[in-house]
Structure 1
């Protein structure tokens, strides 16, 4: 379990670092998705978000493997909701990374916010399903904090950071959104460090007891 905890912590930390790439996300609601999709940073940014999602799933798996019974039904529900949310979000991010730039060049009107693509019920419903990722992280953060399996504050920071990220960066609020990105990324890094630290403390206590 020590190895699982160590790698899970590393995944949370790496995910947090990758989420910082959101700081350079162009304000697509302001300049339009067609213009945003033409920027050179657009594909790399969304690939980074896909990788962050994958690392988050691995981190969740390690957290459940290490503390599953102590996290209870709340933690299990958080993981069950977050995983399909990540899968759906990853699909959307990949579409944005590799399809949107071509659409922006050939048929930019399709990327109008109220247009036939972005305004479709199907795409908006898919986006809502991706929101399960955030709901799952909030529940997991609350479960970690309630179970006290990690140093106090690690779980609540994840829950609060996730809510702020979804509420402020989702609509691309100029300053508040970027602050929310930093808090969200810091929450992942903090949880990862706490998980690794907990593992080290537990190992030290075992050696002393022996």
Structure 2
């Protein structure tokens, strides 16, 4: 086999690997969206009494998983349309990724640490939950309140910009991008409804859009004839020439 045949096989394998990574990223985005649905439907009210319940723990395990899968999923969604989404898509991608990155340690703390501290350090638990409800904390929480306050605008601007960029790019389903942007506009509305309904208003529309985009990326059909066949043909021709 000559050098040309080897290069063709390497190029084919590279393209197959990129396609596989895109599918995995799409699957990750779908899982992130489904975890967000769980949060929207079952998130308890942020009160100390709820911290020790099974529902609280399970919901925040789902939130931790959402952040993990969301980071990889967003990378794939952006990479798929990077050329056409422009600076708007890049900005939305960065903001949404930062939001996932901030939410992950918060959710991990809520799932695995707060329940253990509920009876030992109730003031810390109440202060931690106060970041979400606006109640001043009696204990010093350091930089945590600042980080959480920054995450709010990220969760509005990130989906809004990325959704608009997706709609304009037309690479992934336009209406999924439009739904993502619309969900971002609903987030401020969530602050006006009773606390028990806020997760549904703020999360479910974005969750649906993220799941839709992930499914589109996961199920997208590549023209495998242009990815695999040329490499095999070149390899066969090279072997024939060598003989």
TM-score normalised to the size of structure 1? 0.81
Which residue does the alignment assign to 1:3? 20
Count of residues in Structure 1 that have an aligned counterpart in Structure 2: 201
Looking at structure 2, the residues matched to 166 and 205 of structure 1 have their Cα atoms a distance apart, in angstroms, of 48
Residues 1:27 and 2:27 aligned together: no
Tell me the CA shift for residue 182 of structure 1. 2.9
Taking the TM superposition and a 5 Å limit, the aligned residue runs for 1:1-210 are: 1-22=18-39, 23-28=41-46, 32=47, 34-110=48-124, 111-112=126-127, 113=130, 114-117=136-139, 122-131=143-152, 132-165=154-187, 167-168=189-190, 173-175=195-197, 177-197=199-219, 199-200=220-221, 203=223
Alignment partners' CA distance in 1, 2:84 and 2:162: 12
Greater Rg by CA:
2
Distance 2:90 2:65 in 1: 23
Q: Where do 5+ consecutive residues of structure 1 fail to align?
A: none
Q: Over aligned residues, Cα RMSD in angstroms?
A: 2.9
CA distance in 2 between counterparts of 1:188 and 1:2 reads: 20
Which consecutive unaligned segments of at least 5 residues does structure 2 have? 1-17, 131-135, 228-243
Distance (Å, rounded) in 2 between the aligned partners of 1:149 and 1:37: 42
Deviation at 1:163, TM superposition (A): 3.7
Distance across 2 between alignment mates of 1:68 and 1:20: 27
Residues 182/84 of structure 1: CA separation in 2 closer, same or farther (3 Å cut): closer
- Asked if 1 retains the 8 angstrom alpha-carbon contact of 2:43 and 2:59, the reply is yes
TM-score by length of 2: 0.71
